[in-house]
Chains A and B, each alone.
Chain A
Amino acid sequence: EPEVTQTPSHQVTQMGQEVILRCVPISNHLYFYWYRQILGQKVEFLVSFYNNEISEKSEIFDDQFSVERPDGSNFTLKIRSTKLEDSAMYFCASRKGWETQYFGPGTRLLVL
């Protein structure tokens, strides 16, 4: 069964460094998402992406964040200058039509 994959599974970085989180959505899906989950908290929406552009973003998704679909398969989330409070699990999700979003296994980001 096709699934969303994410790399790396874990990333440790120093405050102020740039990180790129990578996702490979399910191949025939059209809608792509990033969410995050700070430890012990609920899952929060960051951004949605459709037709090669951002369709919606939350207040969390400020100028330090960007997304890109550089080719036909990858979907990336870049954090330009990481802060301590960016430490979280980051989930990528994709959706074909209007319904089920399928999530990847997540990237655990730790900012020191």
Chain B
Amino acid sequence: SQQGEEDPQALSIQEGENATMNCSYKTSINNLQWYRQNSGRGLVHLILIRSNEREKHSGRLRVTLDTSKKSSSLLITASRAADTASYFCATDLDRETSGSRLTFGEGTQLTVNP
């Protein structure tokens, strides 16, 4: 498996329910970022969690990071139909080079049914 893998690949829920998406990675990281992509559109940054943080909140989003298990989860509470999109985790590896590329996972396609 590759750096940054999300599960499930697809998730379908009803409006008002919570959605949880998971991401696993293989190497040590500097930070982990979650992005959202509406079909065929650009990547919108949602939240960044640093390697020394365990949990972070932003509005209806809650992200956790467990560096011992090399995993992160994104929780969207009280989902809305407008949350329908693909969600990607991206890891920023712990390295000393200035490039600091992001390595993306395969993404979770979330569908929120009205």
Measured between beta carbons, the chain B residues less than 8 angstroms from A103 are: 35, 42-45
Chain B interface size range:
20 to 34
Contacting residues, chain B, for A55 (C-beta < 8 A): 97-99
Chain B residue contacts of A35, Cβ below 8 A? 102, 104
Give per-residue flags for A32-53: 1 if the beta carbon is below 8 A from chain B beta carbons, else 0: 0101000000111100101100
A74 to chain B, nearest CB (A): 18
B30 at the A interface (CB under 8 A): yes
Interface size on A, residues (CB 8 A): 27
**Least Cβ distance of A47 to chain B in Å?**
9
**Chain B contacts of A50 at CB under 8 A?**
98-99
- Structural contact, A98 and B100, CB atoms closer than 8 A: yes
| Residues of B near any A CB (own CB < 8 A) | 30-31, 33, 35, 40-45, 48, 50, 88, 90, 92, 97-107
Closest 10 pairs (CB-CB, A-B): A56-B99, A105-B42, A48-B99, A103-B43, A55-B99, A43-B104, A45-B101, A55-B98, A42-B104, A50-B98
Label chain B's interface by main secondary structure.
strand
Q: How far is the CB of A42 from chain B (nearest CB, A)?
A: 5
CB proximity of B47 to chain A, nearest CB, Å: 9
Q: Does A71 contact B (CB under 8 A)?
A: no
| A31 to B92 Cα, complex, angstroms | 14
- Quick one: closest B residue to A49, CB to CB? B99
The distance from the CB of B96 to the nearest CB of chain A, in whole angstroms, is 11
With A50-B99, A56-B99, A98-B30 as contacts: A104 and B106 at CB distance below 8 Å: no
